[in-house]
Amino acid sequence: MSASNLLIDIRQLSVCYRSGGQINPAVQSLSFSLAQGETVAIVGESGSGKSTLANAILGLLPENAQITGGQLWVEGSDLTHASERQKRQLRGRTIGLVPQDPMVSLNPTLRVGQQIAEALILAKGKRYPAVDADVVELLQHVGIDKPVLRARQYPHELSGGMRQRVLIAIALAGNPRLIIADEPTSALDVTVQRKILDHLQRLVSERGISLLIITHDLGVATDRADRILVMKQGELVEQGPPRQILDAPTHPYTQALIAAAPAFAKRREPLANPDWAALAKPILSLQNVGKNFALPKVKGQDNSFQALENLSLDVYPGQTLAIVGESGSGKSTALRIALGLEKPTRGSVWFEQQEVTHLSWRDFRPLRQRIQLVQQNPFAALDPRFTVFDSIVEPLESFGLLKGAALEQAARELISRVHLPVSFLDRLPRELSGGQCQRVAIARALALQPDLLLLDEPVSALDVSVQAHILELLEELQREMGIAYVLVSHDLSVVANFAHQVLVLRNGQVVEQGSVDQIFSRPANDYTRELINAIPGRQKVAMTG
Amino acid sequence: MTRYLMGRVGQAILVLWGAYSITYFILYLLPGDTLSIMLSASGIEADALSVEDLAKARAYYGLDKGLFEQYFDLLLGALHGDFGQSLSLNRPVAELLVERLPQTLSLAGLAIVLSLLGGIGLAYLAAYVRWKPLKVALARLPSLGFSVPVFWMGLLLIQVFAFGLGWFPATGSRGFESLVLPAVTLAIPSAAVYAQVLQRSFQGVWNQSYITTAFAKGLSRGQVQARHGFKNAALPILTLIGLQVGNTVSGAVLVETIFARSGIGRLAQEAVLRQDIPVVLAIVSVSAAAFVVVNLLVDLLYPWFDPRISHTPKVS
Amino acid sequence: MTTTDTRLEQNLGRTAIPAHRSEPLWRRRSRLQRATATVVPLLRRPGFTLALLIVLFALAAAVVPQLLTSFDPYATSPIDKLSAPNLIHWFGTDELGRDLFTRVVYGASLSVQAAFLAVGIALVGGLGLGILSGFAGGRIDSVIMRFVDVLLALPGLLLALAIVTAIGFGTLPVAIAVGVGIIPGFARTTRAEVLRVKTLPYVEAARLGGASWSRTLLRHILPNAWGPVAVLATLDFGAAILATAGLSFLGFGAAPPAAEWGTLIANGRHFLITAPWVSLLPGLFLVAVVFSLNHIARTFEESQR
């Protein structure tokens, strides 16, 4: 059979979910194949069916899912009607999985070494004396230092990056012919992700293993795959090598994805950059701000943690300042200090030439009409029992500014401003999508007509295409209303198209700060360069010019 | 670690002292006329006494001292193991306790073991079985266990197994056979709690990502359930055991009454009926002490089961 | 801007967002309408409806027992004593010839009242402590939680026994005793919920929007925290019924000839061999009521998730 040199051969596969009497198709007549040694990326947004496809290959479809048509050939056998036993034989030994979120994918009550040993023993068929040595060797292979020590540790004692490496070790333990990497870039910092993915690709090519990357990030796909498959709502809309996909996408959906992905989107024209300091006074100013957090007393360790050190920044009216940093850099702390939710240990905070550092909550309250916050998680930012109307007008009610018909009019205006239909005012948050919830949160933040809007990772929880919309909306609002923004993000590609000024934080210290042009074209600091290079897809764009 | 240990022990002592004080407050300060209660408990009519006799009685019961003095006297006595005299039985309370405690301890011990076996077994079965109707029925069973009054269950079991089938004696405290029915009766409510908590916990654990990782290694469903599922789902049970001590003691009062066993539970019931204050105070204090000690042990043992919990503060 | 939006959205397979900038076509749906919308589908479940009917029957028995049975609970009739259940006497008769079904129905009154009082005491005490503890935090929280720990260390029945020893027997002392025993559970659950909701982003958003603490508490924290508390209240209602029955079984409840469920069961103990129904049937009724309450509580809990 010609399929003998194909590791995976999927022909016209259809999978659907049954829930509450309804049948939802997840994968529709999908065909693709994967040969030994190839690296293929499946790109799709939420609801595209890519995770269902991965689960089908692994034989891990949930009980309410059913393969309704087509064939799924893995290593010469059709899995569509295979028994659980046959599917189990393939898992671990032929197909390995590197799961998405390393923080929750390891058993918290078993030692790391035991979990790896379990996979090794399964592959061998029984427990063998050299298994401990093999565990240590495998840990070394995946790049973990002090492997003997780490093998005896529990998952919560390891960092996120190390846990991801352990998961790779578990996947490799069974000597599989295919590794499925599920969203390998979502849970970790960009620089860590890059190192780990590079390492994984090296290991995989050394051993001739095929790699199937499931991702929503087109940049990651173009960087690392030999072939890209684009999925949309269960269907395969386009496939081809990265060069072809980027240069000549044939399907409109692919074109839309490329247009929406920040890494590939055209950098907007750099605004005429007047000398800001001369034109206007800063609306928000942090001067030499430092923040220490007290820690429980432990012998041999410091009893305070320095979250921020010597941070100074200025935000000018109508301008966007982006604070960029990885987790633990202190960027959220900076935001909270600006809002008055935390008091800085050192330094001062100024709002329009008024020092607000030591204001009590009550004294700060009048200023709240001018400074507002948009939070990261749109679903958690809205009270699930409040209708959209209630949520949007709450600030107005809290300050007692409007009542009755005027309140309803204000609500109508606000919801139209964020481009949502007026009928949405009656909906509850659970009836809205992530992007729609975030728009409501923005409308709420605008209710008091603030001059300064602080945004804490406002788009990181959303799909790529939705991200683009929200950012466009924010830009439009800035143009029309002259609001200044402080945008906190870990994603440099988002910042590149949106900010005027950029500030890079690392471990609480300012690494670099300047205009966005300066930072991106002429980064002065190594860390900044590393961050920029780690943006998935950047190299390909650079090559196309 | 020792710092934490001392802190916890200190906390436990504080709670025990609080429990004793509240009970003292209820028994000695709440009633309108403590003296007449104590007199009637001893079988003496308050009205029949003259004023001097009343004063003597007051002094005898220690009620003529000031509030705090009386309290501290009682407390010190309790710390030395002297709980005073039973008003109705006219014997030292401590003696009564020592006499009856072993019966209750054996009953409670067997009941705890049975409840753990029953509860954990039921939960495991409900998770293992795949046939929907049976699975649903097993899942509902703990709820039924909560709804059944302990005393009625005891009567039902007596009716069926003692009078009906004649397998076990209906009453009495002699021999192991007389222990079986009471222990089973006492075990049922606790077993229901363990089963329900374990079922919920297991459902929560089953949705975790590390279960998918385990499956992806190639483990069978049974292996994943045992090695990864239950080990993590069973963690709350340990805390529950500590909390169930209270329910077990409460249940013992009812069970011992029904099965006419001579344990502390029935002693409590008789004491309340006769308003024998010192005995009630002693029994409640001893139960509170048992609760506090067991929970302290559970707290100290917990890190051994769950490596994420450690009693030395770590810095991430 | 709008046209770009629509084109992109159509490309991505979603429907275009229409631009409704003209007259409002919406009404504020009242909270009552939304509440009924959640309860009605539950009634389609047969188990839930049956449970609800049983509980309503018990409540009816508590309030208007005379409508449910024509017999007099105190009417003795020595000729009919200890007769097995039949068409006239649905539950049979007790040792004095009184109709057992009637005794059970009238007993509901005392038992249900006691349970209401007990849960009421627990709600007021437990909710109050829990909200104060969770909201205020800091030292107040530690002190209140220590107090709750102390109450927990006293086993429920024993605490009730102590209270009954002190203030005497009867339905009211039993209710108070049971109520005090349930307080710790309420306090802990309420506190946990308040703490959970207090740190949620939308509470922070409300505060940043200028909401005062009282507004935040009343409009955000309490409505979102009451779910598990309501479930616990229903469960504890059943537990209160069991506890009051237990205390009256031991002989501390209302004096005869008043018929609380526990007393009925205790009474029948003596006739277990010859006339088991005297004890077992009232108990079965009790089990049915408490199980129905548990079922209702669980259905609410599941529908909230």
Closest chain A residue to the Cα of C202, Cα to Cα: A381
Contact of A15 with A26, CB cutoff 8 Å: yes
Q: What is the mean pLDDT of residues A540-545?
A: 51
Closest chain A residue to the Cα of C2, Cα to Cα: A419
What confidence score (pLDDT) does residue A98 get? 92
Q: Which residue has the tokens 């929007």?
A: C209
Q: Is the pLDDT of residue B65 over 80?
A: no
How confident is the model over B114-142, as pLDDT tens digits?
999 999 999 988 888 888 888 888 888 99
Mean pLDDT of chain C, nearest integer: 80
Chain A closest CA to C175's CA: distance in Å? 35
What confidence score (pLDDT) does residue C30 get? 57
A120 confidence band (pLDDT: 50, 70, 90): very high
What are the Cα distances from residue A246, in Å, to A201, A228, A533? Answer: 22, 10, 19
Mutate to test the interface with A, among B213, B215, B310, B311 (most CBs of A within 10 A): B213
Half-sphere exposure of A58 (CA within 13 A, CB side): 28
Q: Is A34 helix (H, G, I), strand (E, B) or coil?
A: strand
Contact of C145 with C132, CB cutoff 8 Å: no
Contact of B157 with C280, CB cutoff 8 Å: no
What confidence score (pLDDT) does residue A210 get? 92
For the ranges A161-165, B57-61, C27-31, C124-128, which has the lowest average pLDDT? C27-31
How confident is the model over A78-103, as pLDDT tens digits?
888 888 888 888 888 899 999 988 88
> Which chain A positions have a beta carbon within 8 Å of C11's beta carbon?
252-253, 255-256
What confidence score (pLDDT) does residue A258 get? 84
Closest chain C residue to the Cα of A477, Cα to Cα: C1
What are the Cα distances from residue A355, in Å, to A176, B71, B302, C121, C236? Answer: 62, 58, 49, 50, 53
What confidence score (pLDDT) does residue B1 get? 65
For the ranges A286-290, B147-151, C117-121, C268-272, which has the lowest average pLDDT? C268-272
Q: What is the mean pLDDT of residues C109-129?
A: 90
Q: Is the pLDDT of residue A535 over 70?
A: yes
Contact B280 C161 (CB under 8 A): yes
Q: Using CA atoms, how far apart are residues B125 and A6, in angstroms rounded to an integer?
A: 43
Contact of A470 with A463, CB cutoff 8 Å: no
Closest chain B residue to the Cα of C157, Cα to Cα: B250
What confidence score (pLDDT) does residue C287 get? 92
Q: What is the mean pLDDT of residues A397-412?
A: 89
A4 confidence band (pLDDT: 50, 70, 90): low
What confidence score (pLDDT) does residue A454 get? 94
Q: Is the pLDDT of residue C6 over 50?
A: no
Mutate to test the interface with B, among C157, C278, C280, C285 (most CBs of B within 10 A): C157
- A to B CB pairs, distance under 8 Å: 89
Phi, psi of A272 (to 5 degrees): -55, 120
Q: What is the mean pLDDT of residues B23-46?
A: 77
Half-sphere exposure of C171 (CA within 13 A, CB side): 21
C275 confidence band (pLDDT: 50, 70, 90): confident
Contact B218 A97 (CB under 8 A): no
Contact of B181 with B162, CB cutoff 8 Å: yes
* Percent of chain B with pLDDT strictly greater than 90: 13
Contact B231 A109 (CB under 8 A): yes
> DSSP letters along B269-307, please?
HHHHHTT-HHHHHHHHHHHHHHHHHHHHHHHHHHHHH-T
C9 confidence band (pLDDT: 50, 70, 90): very low
Q: What is the mean pLDDT of residues A172-192?
A: 85
Distance in angstroms between the alpha carbons of the first and the last residue of chain B:
18
Q: Using CA atoms, how far apart are residues B244 and B256, in angstroms rounded to an integer?
A: 18
Half-sphere exposure of B14 (CA within 13 A, CB side): 12
Half-sphere exposure of B229 (CA within 13 A, CB side): 23
Closest chain A residue to the Cα of C12, Cα to Cα: A253
Chain A closest CA to C126's CA: distance in Å? 24
C16 confidence band (pLDDT: 50, 70, 90): very low
Q: Using CA atoms, how far apart are residues A259 and A414, in angstroms rounded to an integer?
A: 28
Better pLDDT: C186 or C19 = C186
Residue C256, Cβ neighbours under 10 Å: how many?
9
Q: Is A108 helix (H, G, I), strand (E, B) or coil?
A: coil
Q: Using CA atoms, how far apart are residues A441 and A378, in angstroms rounded to an integer?
A: 7
Contact A385 C224 (CB under 8 A): yes
Q: Which helix (H) or strand (E) holds A348?
A: strand A346-351
How confident is the model over A491-521, as pLDDT tens digits?
887 888 888 899 999 888 898 888 888 888 8
> Which chain C positions have a beta carbon within 8 Å of B14's beta carbon?
146
Alpha helices in A261-367 (DSSP H): 276-279, 331-339, 361-364
How confident is the model over C191-217, as pLDDT tens digits?
988 888 888 899 999 999 888 888 988
How confident is the model over C61-114, as pLDDT tens digits?
888 877 777 777 777 777 777 777 777 777 888 778 788 888 888 888 888 888
Nearest CB neighbour to B284, from listed C158, C167, C251? C158
Q: Is the pLDDT of residue C8 over 60?
A: no
Bridge partners, A320 (sequence order): A485
How confident is the model over A218-276, as pLDDT tens digits?
888 888 899 999 998 888 999 999 988 888 888 888 888 888 776 666 555 545 444 55
Closest chain A residue to the Cα of B217, Cα to Cα: A92
What confidence score (pLDDT) does residue A271 get? 52
Q: Is the pLDDT of residue A2 over 50?
A: no
Contact A373 C206 (CB under 8 A): no
Q: Identify residues of C whose CB sits under 8 angstroms from chain A CBs.
A: 1-2, 4-5, 8, 11-13, 17-21, 24-29, 200-202, 204-206, 208-212, 215, 220, 223-224
Q: Identify residues of A whose CB sits under 8 angstroms from chain B CBs.
A: 58, 60, 84, 88-93, 96-97, 99-101, 104-110, 118-119, 122-123, 154, 156, 167, 170-171, 173-174, 295-298, 301-302, 305
What are the Cα distances from residue A459, in Å, to A217, A378, A455, A485, A491? Answer: 14, 9, 9, 14, 10
> Which chain B positions have a beta carbon within 8 Å of C228's beta carbon?
none
Identify the chains in contact with C, defined as 3+ C-beta pairs within 8 A.
A, B
Q: Is the pLDDT of residue A440 over 50?
A: yes
Q: Is the pLDDT of residue C117 over 60?
A: yes
DSSP state of A535: S
Chain A closest CA to C233's CA: distance in Å? 21
Axis crossing angle, helix C222-249 with helix B132-147, rounded to the nearest 10: 60
Q: Using CA atoms, how far apart are residues A379 and A349, in angstroms rounded to an integer?
A: 30
A297 confidence band (pLDDT: 50, 70, 90): low
Contact C201 A444 (CB under 8 A): no
How confident is the model over A47-65, as pLDDT tens digits?
888 888 988 999 888 888 8
Mean pLDDT of chain A, nearest integer: 86
Tell me the whole-structure pTM to 2 decimals: 0.81
How confident is the model over C153-166, as pLDDT tens digits?
888 888 888 888 88
> Which chain C positions have a beta carbon within 8 Å of A416's beta carbon?
19-21
Phi, psi of C301 (to 5 degrees): -60, -45
Which of C154, C118, C127, C121 lies closest to C247, judged by CA?
A: C118
Alpha helices in chain C (DSSP H): 2-11, 31-43, 46-63, 100-136, 138-153, 156-167, 171-198, 201-208, 213-216, 222-249, 261-268, 277-304
Contact of C155 with B250, CB cutoff 8 Å: yes
How confident is the model over B148-172, as pLDDT tens digits?
999 899 888 888 888 878 888 878 7
What confidence score (pLDDT) does residue C165 get? 84
Chain C contact for B155 (CB, 8 A cutoff): yes
What's chain B's length in residues? 316
> Which chain A positions have a beta carbon within 8 Å of B206's beta carbon?
none
Chain B closest CA to C58's CA: distance in Å? 15
Mean pLDDT of chain B, nearest integer: 84
Chain C closest CA to A31's CA: distance in Å? 21
How confident is the model over A319-375, as pLDDT tens digits?
899 999 887 788 888 998 998 888 888 899 999 888 888 888 888 888 888 999 999
Q: Using CA atoms, how far apart are residues B197 and B234, in angstroms rounded to an integer?
A: 9
Mutate to test the interface with A, among C202, C214, C226 (most CBs of A within 10 A): C202
Contact B307 A99 (CB under 8 A): no
What confidence score (pLDDT) does residue B139 get? 86
How do A346-351 and A354-355 pair as beta strands? antiparallel
